[in-house]
Each structure stands twice: as structure tokens, then as C-alpha cells.
Structure 1
Amino acid sequence: MENNSRLIATVPDGARARPGIMAWSAAAVWTTGFGFTVVASDLINLRFRDQWLPLLAMSALVVAAHYRLLLVLLRYANPGLLLVLGWALFSAAWSAVPGYAVTQAIAVVGVAVIASAFALAGWQPDRFALRLAGVATVLIVASIFYAVVFPERGIHSGTDVSLLNSWRGVTVQKNGLGQLCAVGTIVWTYLWAARKVSTWIAVLGLGLSLFVLLQSRSSTSLMLAVLCSAGTVALLRPPLNVGPLLRRSITGAIIVLIPSATYLAVATPYLGFIGAFFGKDMTFSGRVQIWEALMEEIALHPWLGTGLSSFWGEMDAGEMRVRAIVGWPVRDSHNGYITVANELGLIGLSLFFAFLILHCVALRRLSHISRSQYALHAPLFAYIVLANTSESGWFFPISITHLVGTYVSVEVSRLLLEHGLRRRRQPEPRTPPTAPQFAHLAGARAVADTAPSPRNIE
């Protein structure tokens, strides 16, 4: 109890915290890691060791400097995330390429370490949203410059209908650019709706994000970004003063409609006109065939999977079987959850679903603490979860959705920790001593006995 009191006393209030050298270092590592994840490898020609080891070393130093606070943060951390990250690292034991699986697992775990360092050092209000909006906008502007000045590399030149004339900017592929712009759209919408920045700055950031999002021709990211941003606006700037029952009904409808619309868009032809607007076929690039072929592969190793990042890239014979069924050189499953089941097995998938469920529980707790923070983290996480229904992102080291998903999970844990510390710091209210039970009744009875009878009053 004494250790907790000392720890609480050393943690400043978010409103009064000033960034020190550790906070600036953690923020620099956080943003640099974001850039390494987003920017294509042919633009940053560095090996894994040169890219990530300095960032991991600096993050480990920051975490070690705040080890006492880390021990308390772990009480608020999502245990599902810790378990599934451990399982991903352990999956190298049965991988066909254990060395590569370990390298990829270290990168995935390293993202959580970087996020933890950022969360532990520096507690300024809206630091997470402002940093995320800033780094996303810088990369979006760089993508515009790269597509205009170097179109042979910043714009896809393939004849495939889904790639023709679509921008990829500085990212690996057009869908990566679309995800980057979708994150920027949601965060800039939040900063405007929560009145954290001026309207003109928000309009500029939002306009750049939407413009490049349209140029990427990533229809799924566009649809989800608009829906999730609408959720943020509805939470922070409701046009009508609706009651709690109607508000919950609207929230429930959004929760049902967004997954349903995503499924109809990517797995059925019913919303094919959305894809036709972007020049795509009615089934959004034939993802259903890929999923059906991968289901047959999962049945061959249902419990353990192939090991993290041990299926694609000619590391497993199953890739050739999938390509033979689909009929074209597919490079990933285009579904983050099928990828988890294929590489980490049903055990890993169960741990991952536990992470998602526990994060929803944490978001519910956050909604009772800060409506503003909930309006950022709930739509942002909803986008990440739904974007993985059409693109593989979870536990992929260079995936924007995995990176931001991990960042969001750790930041929500930090917000819950900050709230807990703030409550413990506040002194308990002192209640005045109360008289013994029924004493007031006894006093009233004594007064009644000594009072004159109404009949004797003249």
C-alpha cells in the first residue's frame, strides 16, 4: 500500500505534465516506428537489424526507467494481447522457418514495447491523437509529392483493374495508403469534433486525408473511414438532444450495420456497385475464392497453424495449392482473421478473440471515464477490426492496422491507469460523526413528553 502511495505521488497530473528527455525520446521512437511500418522498403533500404533494433533498444531503456509505473500499467493491460503475443513468439517452435518466424515475432512484440514506452513517458492530454494525426499527415503529404514527382513509383502501373492508376505514394501498396488515409480521416475528424484544434487546421488535415484516400482507390477503407468518422461526430456533436435509450439504439445499429455492410461489400455481389465505382469486379477482387482455399489449408493444421509469417513467400507448400485453386499469384489471404487462424492455429485465434473482447470491455470502462477519449478510440479500433475483414493486417510487422491497433490498446490501458491513479490521489471525503441509531427518535420522544398538551393550551 505504501509503494502504491509513493508511485501515485511521483506521477504528475496529465494537465501539468511536461515532456522531459524520456518523453521526447519515446515520442521520436513511436513516430519513427510508424514511418518504418508505413514507408515501402525500397524507399528505406535498411535491414531489419538497422531499422528496428535501435528503436527497440531505446524503447527498452525508457521502459526500464519507468519500471515501477510499468508494473502498475500491467494491471490495466489487456491480458489477451500479452497472451497472443507470447503465442506468436512461441509458434517459431513448429515453424518451417523458425529463424524468420522469431524475427517477425520480435518485430510484432517490439511494436508493443514501443507503444509501452510512449505510454509510460509523458502524460499530456491528447498527446496520442495529436502525434498520430501529425505523423499520418506528414506521410500523406509525402505520398502526394511522391505520386506527382515520381509517378512511375508512386502510382501503380499494373494492368490489373484494382491497381490501374491507383496511388500507393510512399507506402508498400495502394491498400496501405488507403489505411493510412483512413486513420488520418478518423483522427482529424476527432480533433475537429472535440474542438482540440482550429477548424481550418482540421479541414486541411481532413481534406488531405480524403483526397489521397480517393486517389488510392481503396474502396473498403473509404467506406469504413466515412462510417467510423460519422460515429465520432455523433458521439461528440450530436445534432439532436436525444435520450440515452435512443443513443444506445443508434450505437447498436451502427455496430450491426458496419460489419454487415463490410461483409456484403467484400463477400457478396449485392453492394458491387461500390466496387464498380472504383473499376472493380462485383466480388471485390475475388477474395471469397482465396478464403475458401485457405479454409482447406487450415484444416490440415487446425490447432497450431504453420507458425507466424510462415505460410506466404514460398515458405509452405500450401501457398502453391492456394494459387492453383485461385488461378492467380495471390500473396496474402486478404483477411486478418483467416491469417491468424492459418499461422497461429485455432489456439492463437482464440487468444486473439479474447484480446478483442477484453478490449471492448476496456472501451466500455473508458466510455464512463471520458466521452471524448471514447469517441476517438472506439471508432478507430472499429475501423482496424473491420479493415482486417478484407486485408491481412494483424500480426504483420509492416501493417498499419496492426501497428495502430497495438498503439490504441496500450493507450487505452494508460488512460484507465491514469484514471485509477487520479482517483487514488484524491482524498477520501470525511463524513461527520453520526449519532447512535434511533437517537434522534429518542430525542424527539423526550421533547414530546415535556411539551404541553394541546388541551391545556389556552
Structure 2
Amino acid sequence: MLYTGGPLTVLVKGGVSEGEVESAGDTAIVQLTFILIYVITFFLLAIRWKKTVYVLTKNQNIVLLTGIAAFSLLWSVDPTITFTRIVALIGTTLFGVYLSVSYNSLEKHLLIVSFTFGLIVIVSLIFSVVLPKYGVMSGIHAGSWRGIYVHKNAFGKWMVLSAIICLLKCLKVDKKYFIWEAALGLSIFMLVLSRSSAAIIVFLDMIIIFSLLNVLRLQYDLIVPIIAFMMLVTSITTLWAVDNANEILGVFGKDTTFTGRTDLWELLIDMALRRPWLGYGYGAFWGLNSASEEVWRAIPWHPPNAHNGYIDILLNIGFIGLFIFAIGFIRNLAISLMLVRQYKTPEVLFPCMLISYFAISNFSESGLMVQNDFGWVIYVSLSYLLSASLNNKNHKSLTINHY
């Protein structure tokens, strides 16, 4: 729950909202909490060192990416920021490794993550109803629910993921229990109340992907005509959407620039091409340096990140880092699709749904290879689980069981 960004940050900031006077709060509490998590994680991995070494050997992509980020200290435009964020990235990565070591199957992963988001849903509901100073935004987004998070967009993003996980739990558990159906309904309800248009669009996309994954489980003679029909419908819908883009986006409070994002992306790509191969150093671009100040002079709303996970990787560790990330990402997606065809259990949909979710959501938000972020934690953990399942010769269980 802490790795999703709540609830410590909104509490220490006193519940201030965007457009109000910013309150720094005692953010040292948040930093110390994560440092404590790093130390405990390292200790837990150390006492399981044989399992840890085995897991690390199953996926060199994660080690290589983290290594490039660490070595970017050598060419960083702001070594101080890079150093602190590298420490946090390594700690976050190790926590993902810890999850794959201790919860060494997809079923266990779905269990621990579902209870985490179940808790997030309950606490967010309490914050929004009982403690509206913290759970409901004021200022320029007055009335939008944000639960245990600082901003409505973060809340909306995690409610989409919560809905996905609760949907998978609904498929798995006994139908006489309605806990996960209620959690699914609450997740969608609070997603709507967050008024996060990007999150709502991503949720609709995930429903389509969920349907496609179930189609993949059919016999081959049924898959081809169904997918052909869906592609035809998608093509027609896309052409209609392009012709009516302004009207459709207006419903969600957006325009064809995605609230200024396209202007930002164009400028950032130009900035990235100035240091194309290795970037500006991990986490160093967005700091008090000439690069980010040039962006802030051109973009009046002072973005704290690229609002695009792929561009942020490009700025951090260049085309080399983005290429290595893409190779690992495509590999994970391919393995997860293979498992969807091979197994019929709900938890097998879990990695494919999450990977698809991060692929789509990061076109409008930054959540790839970010320190102290749940997205990177679960991506690392699933990467090792998927790699281990590929090497599992008997294929009788999706478990890292060769320690």
C-alpha cells in the first residue's frame, strides 16, 4: 500500500490539493519509512540468499536495467539527485525480488496483491467519506475523490488496477461469497468519483483486453473469425473516433492535445535527442538544472514528469535503456500470452492484464522504472516469476520451485 503512494504522503502534506498553497509537511517520515523497508527487505533476502541468487539468475534484463541506472551517475547532469534516486530504485527493485522469492507463484501473487488493494479500497472509502479533508480534493479539482492519495489521477489509476484484480478474484473464489464482487463494485464506483478521465479510458481498454484474452483460450477454428470480427469493429470505431476526436475527448474534458501533453512530449523528445544514447542520468532531468528549466519556461504548468513512462525512460537512460526495457517487456508479454493459452485458471490472466495495463496507462502517465512505485515492484516480481515459469520443465505449476 505504501508503494502505491498512500496514505502517508497525503497525511503529512495536511490534505492540500492542487491549486492551493503547497504544504511541504514532514516528508522525512515518508523517506525514513522507505529506508526502513529497504533495510528489512535486504535482511529478508540475505537470510534467503540461495533463493535470491536463483531468482536473480532467471532474468538478466532487470539486473541490466538497474545497473545502467546505477552507472548513469557517471554522466548525470545532477549526480546528487541521481544518487538518492538510484538508492531508492535499487531498494524498490529488491522489494520486487523479495515478492517473487517469498510469494513464488502467480496464485500467491494474486492473493497478496488482492488483499492489498482490498485494504486500499476500504481505507480510501473511509478517507473520502469520514475524512473528506484528506480523501476529497478541493482547489481546481474540487469534489473529485482521491482516497488515500495526493491527487485524483493517482487514485483513479490505482482504482483501475484494483478493479482488474478484484475481477480476477471474482472468477476464482466460490460464488457464495460476495466480498470481491463488492470490492469490484466499489473500485469502479470510486474510479468514477475520481473524475480521472484518463483512468476511465484505460479501464474501458482493459475490459476489451480481458475479452480478447478469453477469446485466446478458445479453439483455433473459433479464434480466427472472432478476432477478425473484432478487428473489423475496431477499425470502423477507430475511423469514427478520429473523425469525431474533438467531440469524444470533450466528453472527458480533454482536447486533441490531451490537456497540453502533446506539446510537452514534442519538446521532451527534442530534449532527449540532445543526449540520445544514455540520457541525462536516472531521475536527473526533472530537477533544478538547465534541462528541466528550459521545459518549464516553455510549458507554463510546470510538469513534474513527462506524463509518459516511455519518454521518461528515454530521458533517464537514453535509447539504450529504452531498448533493453522494451526487449524485457515484449518477452514478458509473450510468456504471459503463452501461459494464457496453456492454462485455464484465473491467476494466469494476472500477469498479462497487469503488463497490458502498464503498457497502456504509461502513454499518459509516468509509471515505468520509477523508484518507490508499486508499478515497478510488481513488474520486477512478475518478470522473475514469468522467467522461472518458462524454465519450469514439467509445466505442472506456475511456481519458482527449483531453488
Normalised by the size of structure 2, how large is the TM-score?
A: 0.82
Residue deviations 1:144-175 (CA, integer Å, cap 9, x gap):
2222333333323233xxx3432222113222
Match of 1:34 in 2: 3
- Is 373-382 or 251-260 further displaced after alignment? 251-260
Q: Is the 8 A contact 2:69 2:282 kept in 1?
A: yes
1:295 to 247, 253, 269: 269
- 1:299-318 mapped onto 2 (5 Å cutoff): 299-313=273-287, 315-318=288-291
Say which SS state the counterpart of residue 176 (structure 1) adopts.
helix
Query: 1:338 is matched by which residue type in structure 2?
Result: I
2:11 to 30, 34, 43: 43
Q: Is the 8 A contact 2:136 2:146 kept in 1?
A: yes
Say which SS state the counterpart of residue 69 (structure 1) adopts.
helix
Q: Is the 8 A contact 2:335 2:386 kept in 1?
A: yes
Distance 1:128 1:288, change over 3 A: same
Deviation at 1:381, TM superposition (A): 1.0
Deviation at 1:38, TM superposition (A): 3.7
State the distance in 1 between where 2:114 and 2:209 align. Answer: 18
State the distance in 1 between where 2:392 and 2:280 align. Answer: 40
1:101 to 76, 82, 91: 82
Matched, 1:153 2:134: yes
Matched, 1:224 2:202: yes
Say which SS state the counterpart of residue 145 (structure 2) adopts.
coil
Deviation at 1:212, TM superposition (A): 1.1
Q: Is the 8 A contact 1:307 1:344 kept in 2?
A: yes
State the distance in 1 between where 2:231 and 2:97 align. Answer: 29
Match of 1:56 in 2: 38
Say which SS state the counterpart of residue 41 (structure 1) adopts.
helix
Match of 2:102 in 1: 121
Q: Is the 8 A contact 1:166 1:216 kept in 2?
A: yes
Match of 1:84 in 2: 65
1:70 to 52, 63, 72: 52
Matched, 1:409 2:390: no
State the distance in 2 between where 1:269 and 1:331 align. Answer: 32
Residue deviations 1:402-443 (CA, integer Å, cap 9, x gap):
3333333234345446665868x9xxxxxxxxxxxxxxxxxx
Residue deviations 1:184-212 (CA, integer Å, cap 9, x gap):
11111111123467551221010111011
Matched, 1:346 2:319: yes
State the distance in 2 between where 1:151 and 1:269 align. Answer: 41
Larger Rg: 1
The RMSD of aligned alpha carbons is 3.5
State the distance in 2 between where 1:254 and 1:413 align. Answer: 31
Match of 2:187 in 1: 209
Q: Is the 8 A contact 1:94 1:307 kept in 2?
A: yes
Distance 1:260 1:182, change over 3 A: farther
Residue deviations 1:318-360 (CA, integer Å, cap 9, x gap):
2222223233322221101011111211111111112212212
Q: Is the 8 A contact 2:246 2:256 kept in 1?
A: yes
1:322 to 295, 299, 315: 295
- Is 380-389 or 48-57 further displaced after alignment? 48-57
1:387 to 329, 337, 361: 361
Matched, 1:185 2:163: yes
Distance 1:69 1:401, change over 3 A: closer
Residue deviations 1:284-306 (CA, integer Å, cap 9, x gap):
21210000111121122111211
Distance 1:68 1:231, change over 3 A: same
Q: Is the 8 A contact 2:10 2:148 kept in 1?
A: no
State the distance in 2 between where 1:257 and 1:337 align. Answer: 29
Distance 1:123 1:287, change over 3 A: closer
Size of the aligned set, in residue pairs, is: 383
State the distance in 2 between where 1:343 and 1:193 align. Answer: 39
State the distance in 2 between where 1:259 and 1:374 align. Answer: 29
Which structure has more relative contact order (CA 8 Å, sep 6+)? It is 2
State the distance in 2 between where 1:255 and 1:102 align. Answer: 47
Deviation at 1:119, TM superposition (A): 2.0
- 1:249-264 mapped onto 2 (5 Å cutoff): none
1:168 to 137, 142, 146: 146
Match of 1:286 in 2: 260
Say which SS state the counterpart of residue 9 (structure 2) adopts.
coil
Q: Is the 8 A contact 2:76 2:284 kept in 1?
A: yes
State the distance in 1 between where 2:39 and 2:235 align. Answer: 39
Match of 1:428 in 2: none
Q: Is the 8 A contact 1:303 1:346 kept in 2?
A: yes
Match of 1:200 in 2: 178
Q: Is the 8 A contact 1:115 1:410 kept in 2?
A: no
State the distance in 2 between where 1:261 and 1:61 align. Answer: 53
Distance 1:201 1:286, change over 3 A: same
Query: 1:130 is matched by which residue type in structure 2?
Result: L
State the distance in 1 between where 2:271 and 2:103 align. Answer: 46
Distance 1:379 1:125, change over 3 A: closer
State the distance in 2 between where 1:407 and 1:241 align. Answer: 25
Q: Is the 8 A contact 1:298 1:341 kept in 2?
A: yes
Say which SS state the counterpart of residue 76 (structure 1) adopts.
coil
State the distance in 1 between where 2:41 and 2:210 align. Answer: 31
Deviation at 1:391, TM superposition (A): 0.4
State the distance in 2 between where 1:409 and 1:257 align. Answer: 33
Q: Extract unaligned runs of 5+ from structure 2.
A: 13-26
Deviation at 1:48, TM superposition (A): 5.9
Q: Is the 8 A contact 2:92 2:372 kept in 1?
A: no
Deviation at 1:398, TM superposition (A): 4.0
Normalised by the size of structure 1, how large is the TM-score?
A: 0.73
State the distance in 2 between where 1:259 and 1:61 align. Answer: 52
State the distance in 1 between where 2:29 and 2:392 align. Answer: 37
Deviation at 1:311, TM superposition (A): 1.5
Match of 1:448 in 2: none
